[in-house]
Amino acid sequence: MPEPIASQRAIQELLSKQKLYEGLLHSQHGVRQPIIESLVHRQHVAEVANRLAAMPSQAIASLLEALPIDEAQWLWTCVPDSRENEVLWELTDALRETLVGSREPRFAESQINAFDVVDGRLRHVCISSRDDLEGIKPAWLDLLAATNPERRYVGDHFGVTLPDPGQTTDLEISSRFQIDDRGSLRLCSNFLLYRDRVSRSIPVVFIVHQGILFTVRNEDLPVFRLQGQRVRSQTGDAFDSIDLILDLYGADVEYSADVLESMYQRLGEIGHQVLSETISDEDAETVLAGIAEQEGLNGRIRGNILDTQRALFFLIRSRRLLPSQLDDAKQILRDIDSLNSHTAFLFDKINFLMDATVGFININQNKRLSRLTVFSVVIMPLNIIAGIGGMSEFSMMTAGIPWPSAYAGLAAAMGLMGWVTYLMLQKLSTRRRRKAG
pLDDT of residue 248: 93
pLDDT of residue 1: 38
Q: What pTM was estimated for this model as a whole?
A: 0.72
> Cβ contacts of residue 171 below 8 Å, gap of 6+?
188
Asked whether 110 and 144 are in contact (CB, 8 A), the reply is yes
> For residue 43, what pLDDT band results from cuts at 50, 70 and 90?
low
pLDDT of residue 287: 87
Stretch (H or E) spanning 387: helix 323-389
pLDDT of residue 374: 67
pLDDT of residue 256: 94
Asked whether 305 and 258 are in contact (CB, 8 A), the reply is no
> For residue 237, what pLDDT band results from cuts at 50, 70 and 90?
very low
> For residue 31, what pLDDT band results from cuts at 50, 70 and 90?
very low
Summarised one tens digit per residue, pLDDT across range 110-124 is 688 888 877 767 788
Summarised one tens digit per residue, pLDDT across range 341-355 is 999 999 999 999 888
Pairwise CA distance, residues 281 & 286, whole Å: 9
Crossing angle of helices 222-233/241-274, nearest 10°? 130
pLDDT of residue 311: 92
**Among 125-134, 142-151, 209-218, 364-373, which stretch is predicted with the lowest mean pLDDT?**
364-373
Per-position DSSP letters for 201-269, written without gaps between them:
EEEEEEEEETTEEEEEESS--HHHHHHHHHHHH-B-S---HHHHHHHHHHHHHHHHHHHHHHHHHHHHH
| Helix, coil or strand: residue 154 | helix
Q: Which residues pair with 204 in a beta bridge?
A: 189
Pairwise CA distance, residues 366 & 369, whole Å: 5
| Helix, coil or strand: residue 145 | coil
Give me the amino acid identity at 186.
Answer: R
pLDDT of residue 2: 47
**Average pLDDT over all residues of the chain:** 79
Summarised one tens digit per residue, pLDDT across range 172-194 is 545 678 887 788 899 999 999 99
> For residue 60, what pLDDT band results from cuts at 50, 70 and 90?
confident
Summarised one tens digit per residue, pLDDT across range 304-329 is 999 999 999 999 998 889 899 999 99
